[in-house]
Structure 1
Amino acid sequence: MVAIKDMLDGQTVIRADGRKVDELRPVRITRHFTDVPEGSVLVECGNTRVMCTATFTAGVPRWRKDSGLGWVTAEYAMLPRATADRTDRESVRGKIGGRTHEISRLIGRCLRGVVDMKALGENQVQIDCDVLQADGGTRTASITGAYVALVDAMRWAEKHKHIRSADRVIKDSVSAVSVGVIDGKPMLDLPYIEDSKAMTDMNVAMTGSGEFIEIQGTAEHRPFNRAELNTLLDLAEKGNKELQAAQQAALAQD
């Protein structure tokens, strides 16, 4: 089997949307998207659009009381017509789906990975990620946007004397991106048309310092080898660095 790393060298494949295999979709991060939450962000990755809000609350859940530690949690949902066909709201169905639970936990884990809970104190931040339009990569876009919303919420908390320093609470940045193998070719940042036929599909969350928080990878049609995995991780690292630059550029604007 030809290693994907070898296939990537000198790669000239042009994708359906005109991108190179190692190119992100256009990324746009809009802060203060809505007025009420302590942090509110619209993140756009190509045609995928997610609204991420961060709510700061003094106090922690009962099980966390008297620990001196804070808590960060997340919820994920999709609007009924975020996709080509309408789906019922899970609240109407009366049951939260397994995929929704999985993604909510993923977002929460990624954010907690860059938060100093002791510096946060006995305060809680609740993140809500609502997909307005889905075209692949909704969970990774949610993580990328949620981080910016979290930083804004921490800045609000510092300004209102709930915490001593936002910079002490946020230890590092975090972003996430998808990678995959489509028709034997490694690609970065998959839209739905590529994701739906991927031979390997992977989501990678990384910190600004280059460490991994989450790697989710699945072979759909054939197994992948170590060389292929390494190449996909290299692509993800490149994409995450670019996403983190976009995060910092957005946070520098006030």
Structure 2
Amino acid sequence: MPRRDLRRADQLRPVRIERGYQRYPAGSALIEMGHTRVVCAATVEERVPFFLKGSGTGWVTAEYSMLPGAGSERTAREAMRGHQTGRTQEIQRLIGRALRTVVDMKALGERTIHIDCDVLQADGGTRTASITGAFVALVEACATFYTRRGIFPVRDYVAAVSVGISTEDIPLLDLCYEEDSSAMVDMNIVMTGSGALVEVQGTGEGRAFSRAEMNALMDLGGLGIRELIDAQKIALGDTLAWMPGREG
């Protein structure tokens, strides 16, 4: 059965990352993956949480939210409810963990980088799009205080993508909402540019899955992440794409 948008099973949705999307944050990016759109902003604060004061190391933290009109039905702002949902807390912790994996906290110094990911429109893969777009905003923010001959705080690229197994038992890359909601197996993969795994979130939604199927999904995710990292490099351009991993 063909995919709704006629993509191949191993094909990403159209990806566009626009760097410098917002005027005021130190770094920002709009990422579009199909109909999913997320604004990611990075703000630099010249202080750290109390548990890091005097340590000479920095911190990266993230917040995630969906606008009320991001989905097919309006959802109330969480501020109006008086609390965040478990899903929101899980996603923003994932974004923070993913980014911290590729940051040298000593090179960051006693600074905190706040990453805000706001979903403008949701059609599946909002958490993975947030990680991929947030990385671009993070690099842009770090460039504002980096001094040459020093160590650039971001050591490697990182991106994320969803994969899954359809009701026809076909492994699929980059699921839209319709595919995600009916998938037999659903998985999110976060990976660095060097190919190291940061996180794998996999669930048998409709049935259990085999080790061979898991390996096939991992290979598919790796393929997609390499393409997403290429998109990140294009967004960062000649001035910033070379900076992650730079020493001196």
Which whole-Å deviations, capped at 9, do the CAs of 1:12-64 have from their partners, x for residues lacking one? x6311010000000000001111000001000000000000000111101111
Is the contact made by 1:76 and 1:128 (CA closer than 8 Å) also made in structure 2? yes
Whole-Å separation in 1 of the counterparts to 2:2 and 2:205: 23
Tell me the distance in 2 between the aligned counterparts of 1:153 and 1:168: 11
State the AA in 2 paired with 1:251.
Answer: L
Q: Take 2:210 and 2:236, find their aligned partners in 1: how far apart are those partners?
A: 38
**Residue-by-residue CA offset, 1:181-236 (whole Å, 9 max, x unaligned):** 01111000000000000100000000000010010000011100100000000000
Tell me which residue corresponds to 2:158: 174
Residue number among 192, 196, 199 corresponding to 1:207 in the alignment:
192
Secondary structure in 1 aligned to 2:72? coil
Following superposition, the deviation at residue 107 of structure 1 comes to: 0.1
Per the alignment, residue 128 of structure 1 pairs with 116
Alignment of 1:1-254 (within 5 A): 14-158=2-146, 165=150, 168-183=152-167, 184-252=169-237
TM-score (normalised: structure 2): 0.94
CA RMSD of superposed structures (Å): 1.2
> Could you tell me how far apart the structure 2 residues matched to 1:199 and 1:98 are?
23
Q: Which runs of 5+ in 2 are unaligned?
A: 240-248
In 2: Cα distance, 1:253 partner to 1:17 partner: 33
Amino acid at match of 2:220: L
The separation in 1 between residues aligned to 2:91 and 2:145, in whole angstroms, is 26
What's 2:246 paired with?
A: none
Give the deviation of 1:164 after TM superposition. Answer: 6.8
Identity over aligned pairs, percent: 58
Partners of 2:184 and 2:94 in 1: CA distance = 23
- TM-score of the aligned structures, taking structure 1 as reference length: 0.91
Contact 1:53–1:149 under 8 Å retained in 2: yes
* 1:152 Cα deviation from its structure 2 partner: 0.1
| 8 A contact 1:43–1:141 mirrored in 2 | yes
Unaligned residue ranges in structure 1 (runs of 5+) = 1-12
**Partner SS for 2:233:** helix
* Amino acid aligned to 2:171: P
For residues 217 and 201 of structure 1, the distance between their equivalents in structure 2, rounded to whole angstroms, comes to: 6
Give the Cα separation in 2 of the matches to 1:200 and 1:133: 24
Matched-pair contact (CA < 8 Å) for 1:56–1:157: no
* Residue identity matched to 2:162: S
Number of positions where the alignment pairs a residue of Structure 1 with one of Structure 2 = 238
Give a deviation string over 1:165-189, Cα, whole Å, max 9, x none.
Answer: 4x52111000000000011110000
